[in-house]
Amino acid sequence: MKAFLSTFLMVAATVTYAQSPAPSPLFAPPAETVSVTGSGRTTLTPDRYTFSVGVQTIAPTVDAAVTENNQRVASVLAALKRAGADEKEIRTSNFSIYPQQVYEQGQSPRITGYQVSNNITVTRDKVTDAGKLLQVAVTAGVNVSSGLQFLVSDPTRGRDQGLKAAVDDARSKASLLAQAAGRALGRALTIAEGSAPVPPPRPYGLQMTMAKADTAEVPVEAGTQEMTYTVSIVYELR
């Protein structure tokens, strides 16, 4: 009887062991990976420009300073429109009146006159007109400028090309690292795009004077702008 019971227990234990479930995949060791960041660049030609010019006048009274300023600004606006600028491409960006004061020791400030400033901003898509319109504004009487900027109106131009170049760069880096470690590169597990690039405006400094220039237009060059795209990719190692 005791021998039979002992044999039964051994058989039961063997069956239980054989039917125990396989380890859960949740506890499988994590995949070995390599993380890299790639970058790609595209070169774009600006298709828009903007410049700000203005008229500054000084007179003994506010009325005199404003009247003179209005007349000169009206001449500038009329000249810009005759040169091809639409009303929607021209806007007033600043108008200010400041007293001109003299400070003497022991006395209150004394007003000697008033300075009136009126600035005009022109934004236009026809880049080749930039020099001509600037010259028109100078000739019409502006005496203040905050410079010229060339812009890319659509930052997504060249995006596909830039992202593809960034992915190629990331894969090249990952392949090099895997090879150095004696491994083979597997599939891409995750891909994340970096922040969308915004091209900075290309400034072009200008020096305006009240004298009329001898050239037909202000010489300017739009140049190019470089856009940079980045991606972060995690690859599996084999």
Q: Is residue 191 part of a domain?
A: no
Q: How far is Cα 225 from Cα 46, in angstroms, rounded to an integer?
A: 7
Q: Is residue 30 part of a domain?
A: no
pLDDT of 157 reads: 85
Q: How far is Cα 160 from Cα 177, in angstroms, rounded to an integer?
A: 26
Q: Is residue 103 part of a domain?
A: yes
The list of the chain residues with pLDDT below 70 reads 1-30, 195-216
- What dihedral do alpha carbons 73, 75, 80, 82 form, nearest 10°? 160
Q: Tens of pLDDT along 11-70? A: 444 444 444 455 555 555 667 999 999 999 999 889 999 999 999 999 999 999 999 999
CA distances from 39 to 160, 167, 186, 212 (A): 13, 7, 20, 48
pLDDT of 58 reads: 96
Q: Is residue 54 part of a domain?
A: yes
Q: What is the CATH number of the domain that holds 63?
A: 3.30.70.2970
Which domain covers residue 105, as residue numbers?
Answer: 49-151+206-217
Chain mean position to CA 167: 21
Q: How far is Cα 54 from Cα 211, in angstroms, rounded to an integer?
A: 15
Closest Cα partner for 46 from 162, 194, 193, 204?
204
- Count of structural domains, the chain: 1
pTM attached to this predicted model: 0.65
